[in-house]
Structure 1
Amino acid sequence: MKVKANGLQIEVDDSGADGSQNERPVVLLIMGLGMQLIGWPDYFVRPLVDAGFRVIRHDNRDIGLSQGFEHAGQRSVVWQSIRQRIGLRVQSAYTLQDMADDALGVLDALGVQQAHIIGASMGGMIAQRVAATAPQRVLSLTSIMSSSGARGLPGPRPEVARGLFNRPTSRDEDALVDFSVKFVNLIGSPAYPNDPTALATRVRTGIRRAYRPDGLVRQMLAIGADSQRPTVLAKIKSPTLVVHGDADKLVPIECGHDTARRIPGARFVSVPGMGHDLSPQLSDILMRHIIPFLREPGKAA
């Protein structure tokens, strides 16, 4: 369903849409770069619902079925990367703070006063912004495979960096599926590989739902433009859990350590063999940390 959030049409999935879960504590899930709300698979959502939470997912702006920014045009990622390296500000159509305001707008549209915020990758960066911007709205923050964005942190491994700038050979559906599956496997978890058939099915479902590569680029530039977030993290007062895999080739684990160091009182959990994905086995492991954390006294009030 669509809601009006922060002046935009944002696509939302709400496990409590029928009103049956209005008394439950809310978990808002924020997905990462170029990923749709279905990037939070049912095998991640269901354990949270079964544990007594109302789970809300949304498509970030410019991706999935949410409002796009085609009118903003497209800037060169290569040129903006050069600007960043020489200390100039990255130019972007919108900011991660705008996307955090979208997330808060989703809660407003659904009449939710407070929520646990869980973000993965870029979604973790947005979640950090939400927690810093509206501490009274955030019961807890969980940042998964994300980063503080501080200068000097290690970036993607070379083969992953090249993969980020590669493009599929055509827009034929099979070519798009093959391209995406290869990249997911490149950044995935060596200890917890995806089932090839199930992964291809999930990727194909996402492509059929929406395929918006220009939105992904605009989101990438929003990440690059978010240079002030490292200093903002000290403002976060919410109980915080930072989870990161030690085999992450896209956002190395040092980025998770730095995030936890910058957020007062944050708890850090390293997951051996975890890369940059949410395979079924990994979701089970993450839930062993996340659900007890959400249930701690004072968080679900």
Structure 2
Amino acid sequence: MRIKTSDGLGLHVEEAGSGLPILFIHEFGGNHESWEPQMRFFARRYRCISYAARGYPPSDVPAGIDAYSQRIAVDDALSVLDALGIGKAHVVGLSMGGFATVHFGLAAPERALSLTVAGAGYGCEKEFEDYFRTVSLEVADNFETKGAREFSKIYALGASRVQFQNKDPRGWREFADRLATHSDLGAAMTMRGVQARRPSFYDLEDGLKAMDVPTLVIVGDEDDHCLQPGIFLKKTIPACGLSVFPKTGHTLNLEEPDRFNGLLAEFFAEVEAGKWLKRDPRALPGQIMRTT
């Protein structure tokens, strides 16, 4: 299926199943096919939607950097829901998609049944913020000059990707092969326009404190630059839970699909039952033991 964005671009959308909707938003290193383990599992009970972000074929690949931004990524997610006639959905994002999910909750909380923010945090830590922006531009240059087919051989072996390779060589190979098919231009522009320009979670604190959407944050314990941002989200968003997967890297939904799917299923059930609540005000973060 093909839908139009608010600025007239075409996005490739796939869906399966019926019931309450789940919108899956993929990471930079993936595409709409990266959610296949979740589409197959949740389509038994839900209406599951995944889409290829702008810059990712078979969606359109605009050439100008002004066509890419964090806000535009949110607008595209809303365009998908609008085109499908969906008022509210569970929104699930990984990494780049996790950032889009957070911003979705800030921009359009009334459209979200819940938010799942997985493997998100790169560039948020203030001590690494400048480095992240610099290395993002280097990655963009590499995709543009070497091409995805060659540079994917380097990118797919990042420090938080090798866990996936060690656990599931066939699954990792499928991930790496998909990465090699990325648009050279689309990958470069996404890195420059979205990744290198997006704000840190720490700069969004006031908005996050006011965001009442039920939220689940998931990080791998070997995805080092997502750990502290994940804890920050847990402490800041009122109705937020945090899950840390042991001995796990960045590509959570593919590296640990059974654990990921089971956790999401329980989260969705609690949200739909009205049981995923804000933190009890008696659970004072500064208290160690009560004495009076």
TM-score, structure 1 normalization: 0.76
Q: Does 1:107 align with 2:81?
A: yes
| 1:36 alignment partner AA | N
Moved more, 186-195 or 115-124: 186-195
Q: What is the CA-CA distance between 1:4 and the residue it aligns to?
A: 0.9
Once the two structures are superposed, residues 223-257 of structure 1 have per-residue CA deviations (whole angstroms, 9 ceiling, x without a partner) of 258885333212321111111111103x3301100
What value does the CA root-mean-square deviation take over the aligned residues?
3.2
The answer to whether the 8 Å contact 1:124/1:142 transfers is: yes
Aligned to 2:281: none
Q: What is the CA-CA distance between 1:155 and the residue it aligns to?
A: 6.2
Taking a change above 3 Å as real, the CA distance of residues 98 and 208 of structure 1, as seen in their structure-2 partners, is closer
Aligned to 2:20: 25
| 1:48 alignment partner AA | F
Moved more, 99-108 or 198-207: 198-207
Q: Which residue of 240, 248, 264 corresponds with 2:215?
A: 240
The answer to whether the 8 Å contact 1:154/1:255 transfers is: no
Alpha-carbon separation, structure 1, partners of 2:197 and 2:135? 19
Q: Which residue of 150, 165, 172 corresponds with 1:199?
A: 172
Q: What is the CA-CA distance between 1:115 and the residue it aligns to?
A: 0.2
TM-score, structure 2 normalization: 0.78
| 2:37 alignment partner AA | Y
Identity %: 24
The answer to whether the 8 Å contact 2:42/2:48 transfers is: yes
Q: Does 1:4 align with 2:4?
A: yes
The answer to whether the 8 Å contact 2:14/2:49 transfers is: yes
Higher helix share: 2
| 2:242 alignment partner AA | F
Aligned to 1:231: 206
The answer to whether the 8 Å contact 2:123/2:200 transfers is: no
For 1:222, what is the secondary structure of its paired residue? coil
Alpha-carbon separation, structure 1, partners of 2:56 and 2:77? 14
The answer to whether the 8 Å contact 1:191/1:273 transfers is: no
Paired residues, what number?
Answer: 267
For 1:275, what is the secondary structure of its paired residue? coil
Alpha-carbon separation, structure 2, partners of 1:143 and 1:255? 11
Alpha-carbon separation, structure 1, partners of 2:156 and 2:50? 23
Q: Does 1:48 align with 2:42?
A: yes
For 1:215, what is the secondary structure of its paired residue? helix
Aligned to 1:294: 268
Unaligned runs of 5+ residues in structure 2 are 275-292
Taking a change above 3 Å as real, the CA distance of residues 37 and 153 of structure 1, as seen in their structure-2 partners, is farther
Aligned to 2:16: 15
| 2:176 alignment partner AA | V
User: What pairs up with 1:1-301 in 2 under 5 angstroms?
Assistant: 1-7=1-7, 8-16=9-17, 21=18, 24-40=19-35, 42-50=36-44, 52-72=45-65, 94-147=68-121, 152=126, 165=138, 167=142, 170-171=146-147, 173=149, 175-183=150-158, 186-188=159-161, 190=163, 193-208=166-181, 210-211=183-184, 212-217=186-191, 218-224=193-199, 228-249=203-224, 251-278=225-252, 280-296=254-270, 298=272
Once the two structures are superposed, residues 237-293 of structure 1 have per-residue CA deviations (whole angstroms, 9 ceiling, x without a partner) of 1111111111103x3301100112121121111111121113645121112211111
Alpha-carbon separation, structure 1, partners of 2:164 and 2:151? 26
Alpha-carbon separation, structure 2, partners of 1:98 and 1:162? 22
Alpha-carbon separation, structure 1, partners of 2:101 and 2:267? 16
| 2:13 alignment partner AA | V
| 1:49 alignment partner AA | A
Alpha-carbon separation, structure 1, partners of 2:218 and 2:127? 17
Unaligned runs of 5+ residues in structure 1 are 73-91
| 2:163 alignment partner AA | P
The answer to whether the 8 Å contact 2:114/2:271 transfers is: no
| 2:56 alignment partner AA | I
| 2:6 alignment partner AA | N
Alpha-carbon separation, structure 2, partners of 1:275 and 1:12? 27
Once the two structures are superposed, residues 72-91 of structure 1 have per-residue CA deviations (whole angstroms, 9 ceiling, x without a partner) of 3xxxxxxxxxxxxxxxxxxx
